[in-house]
């Protein structure tokens, strides 16, 4: 069953513009590779202060007090969502992420 989702990701602030764009393209290609469709993609804030410091994942344990926010809306088969989550979880340049299911007009009624 194909559903609509929205995801918010916080990237490390020390990434350059090229590295951030590379990450965006990697995730978009992963969604499209899973036969999904990207509906909207935009950067909310290129560098914004966080309420509390976030620790990076991986071998390098640094704390960041700022981050770059990216929002993406997409549709994807529910059975393939776990594969996308795993790809995002393994990426060390992403500090935090959340994926939520968007309500459509059919589910509201």
pLDDT at 109 over 80: no
pLDDT at res. 28: 94
Rounded to whole angstroms, how far apart are CA atoms 67 and 9?
Answer: 9
Domain locations in the chain? 2-104
CB atoms within 10 A of CB 13: 17
pLDDT-based confidence at 107, cuts 50/70/90? low
On whether the 2-104 domain is CATH 3.30.70.60, my answer is yes
Determine the pLDDT at residue 33. Answer: 95
Backbone angles phi, psi at 56, to 5 degrees: -75, 155
Query: 77-105: per-residue pLDDT in tens?
Result: 999 999 999 999 998 888 899 999 988 66
């Amino acid at each position: 069953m194909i559903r609509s989702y929205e995801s918010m990701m916080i990237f490390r602030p020390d990434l350059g513009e090229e590295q951030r764009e590379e990450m965006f393209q990697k995730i978009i290609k992963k969604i499209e590779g899973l036969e999904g469709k990207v509906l909207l993609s935009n950067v909310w804030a290129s560098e914004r202060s966080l309420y509390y410091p976030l620790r990076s994942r991986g071998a390098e344990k640094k704390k960041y007090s700022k981050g770059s926010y990216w929002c993406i809306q997409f549709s994807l088969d529910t059975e393939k969502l776990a594969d996308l989550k795993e790809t995002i979880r393994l990426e060390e340049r992403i500090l935090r992420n959340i994926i939520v299911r968007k309500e459509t007009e059919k589910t509201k009624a």
